Amino acid sequence: MSEPRASLMTAEPVERAQRVLVVGCGGIGGITAACLTETWSALGVEVVGYSTNAEIAEAIRRHGYRLTGTEGTRSVSGQCLTELTPDVAPFDFIVLAVQPPQVERAAREALSWLKPDGAMVCFQNGLCEDRVAKIAGTDRVLGAVVAWGASMPEPGLFERTAAGGFAIGRMDGAPDPRLERLAVLLECVGPVTLSDNFAGARWSKLAINAAISTLGTIGGDRLGALMVSLTVRRLVLAIMTETVRVAHAAGIRLEKVSGTLDLDWIALTDEEMRVVGSPSLVAKHTLLLAVGARYRRMRSSMLSAIERGRPPAVDFLNGEVVERGLALGVPTPVNEAAQAMVHTIARRERASGMSSVYTLAESLGLR
C-alpha cells in the first residue's frame, strides 16, 4: 500500500491543500486519484475523481480504483463524479489528467471549481501549460512532467506499467509556494523534483514522447518489442534530433530526463547524420535499447485513444514541433511525416504495425 512518510503526515503544506480534483480517470489519472485517496483521505485531504465516462465512474463506484502492475494488486475505495454541479465545493488543485486533445475543454469546464488561489496542474505530454494558461491565467497553472507509465485495460482497472515520479514547476520558471504543497501531495505516487527550468524539462519530455508515443502508435506494440528494431531506433533519433533543434532555436535549455537521459547528447550531429556507423552512433543506439528494456511494458496512450475512437494527441506532440519549427525556420520533415501517418491510422486508412514503420522510414530514406 502507498503510505505517507512521517515527514509528510505532519507537513504544514498539506494543511493548506484540503481538496484535489483529478480530471480524467484513465491510466495516469486513475492511479493518481487512487494513490492520493489512499494516502491522504484519512489526513483531511479530500480527493475527487471526475470522468465524463459513465462506465469508468460506475466501475469505480462499485469496485473502487482497482490497481495492478508494478505496485501490486489492490482496490482503493474512492469517489468519481461524472458531473460538476454547483453544490460541489471548489478545489485547491485541479489535476488535468485527460489526453491533450481534451485538455482545453476540461480546463474550461473545471475552471469555476478552482479556488481563487488554486492551481490547475497539467499532466499532459506536449506544451499544454501554454494552452491552459490562456484559459485560467498564467499564475493559476502549474505543470508536472509524468515520468512513469500506466494504462487502463478495462474501465476502473488501472495498470502501472513503469515506475517513476514527477518533475513539477512553472513554464516561466518563477518560484511558487504551491509547488511545495503539490510536491508533498504527489510523493505518494512517485518521487517529485521541483524544477526551476520546467520549460526545459517539458521540452525534453516532448522530444521523447514525439518519438516514443508516436512510433508506438505507428508500430502498434509495446516499447520493448519496438525498440529492438534498428529502423525504429533510427526514427526515434531523427524525431528527437529535430525536436532538440527546434527547442534550441526557441532559446530553451533542455533538462536531463530523470536526471540521466541527455537530449542534447542523444540528438544527432551533422556528422552522425551523414555516416552509416560510428562509435557515438553505437552508443546512442545502445542507450535506446536500454530504454526499451527498462520500459518494455509501456504502451502508447495515443494508440489506446485511437482504439477507443478518440482523436490522437499527435498534433500536440509532433504537430507542436512542426508548427514551432516552421515559425523558427527549422525543418522538421520526420516529425511532419510521422504526424501525417498517425492521422491515416486514426482514420482507419492504415493499420498500426511494423509494415507502417517501414513505410515511414523508407519515405524518409531512413531504412
Tell me the fold of 6-196: Rossmann fold (3.40.50)
pLDDT digits (tens, 9 = 90+) for 277-314: 789 999 999 999 999 998 888 889 899 889 989 999 99
Sort strands 46-50 and 19-23 into parallel, antiparallel or unpaired: parallel
Predicted pLDDT at 175: 95
Q: Cβ(126)–Cβ(204) under 8 Å?
A: no
Inform me whether the pLDDT recorded for 358 exceeds 90: yes
- For the ranges 27-36, 210-219, 231-240, 286-295, the lowest mean pLDDT is seen at 286-295
CA separation (Å) from 361 to 116, 180, 229, 338? 50, 44, 12, 9
Domain residue limits, the chain: 6-196, 200-363
The chain-wide mean pLDDT, for the chain, equals 93
Predicted pLDDT at 273: 87
Residue 160: helix, strand or coil by DSSP? strand
CATH of domain 200-363: 1.10.1040.10
User: H or E stretch including 145?
Assistant: strand 141-146
The strand order across the sheet containing 65-69 reads 74-76, 65-69, 157-162, 149-154
Q: Which amino acid is at 100?
A: P
Asked whether the CA dihedral 123, 1, 290, 222 is positive or negative, the reply is negative
Q: Which residues contact 111 (CB under 8 A, 6 or more apart)?
A: 120, 135, 136
Q: Residue 290's Cα: distance from chain center in Å?
A: 20
CA-based nearest residue to 256, from 145, 175, 177: 145
Q: Rounded distance, CA 145 to CA 114, Å? A: 21
CA separation (Å) from 105 to 4, 18, 65, 110, 275? 33, 25, 25, 9, 46
Number of other CB atoms surrounding residue 228 within 10 Å: 13
CA-based nearest residue to 78, from 116, 122, 25: 25
Q: Cβ(336)–Cβ(360) under 8 Å?
A: no
Predicted pLDDT at 15: 52
Residue 69: helix, strand or coil by DSSP? strand
Predicted pLDDT at 14: 53
Q: Which residues contact 49 (CB under 8 A, 6 or more apart)?
A: 21, 22, 25, 29, 30, 33, 57, 60, 65, 78, 79, 80, 81
pLDDT digits (tens, 9 = 90+) for 258-268: 777 899 999 99
- For the ranges 18-27, 181-190, 256-265, 337-346, the lowest mean pLDDT is seen at 256-265
Q: Which residues of 50-61 are buried (b: 16+ CB within 10 A; e: fewer)?
A: bbbbeebbebbe
Q: Cβ(305)–Cβ(99) under 8 Å?
A: yes
Predicted pLDDT at 359: 98
pLDDT digits (tens, 9 = 90+) for 121-150: 999 999 999 999 999 999 999 999 999 989
pLDDT digits (tens, 9 = 90+) for 153-167: 999 999 998 889 999
Alpha helices in the chain (DSSP H): 6-9, 12-15, 27-40, 54-63, 100-110, 128-136, 177-186, 198-219, 223-227, 230-249, 263-266, 270-274, 279-294, 301-307, 318-328, 333-346, 354-363
pLDDT digits (tens, 9 = 90+) for 223-244: 999 999 999 999 999 999 999 9
Predicted pLDDT at 280: 93
Q: Cβ(127)–Cβ(320) under 8 Å?
A: yes
Kindly indicate the confidence band of residue 9, based on its pLDDT and cuts at 50, 70 and 90: very low
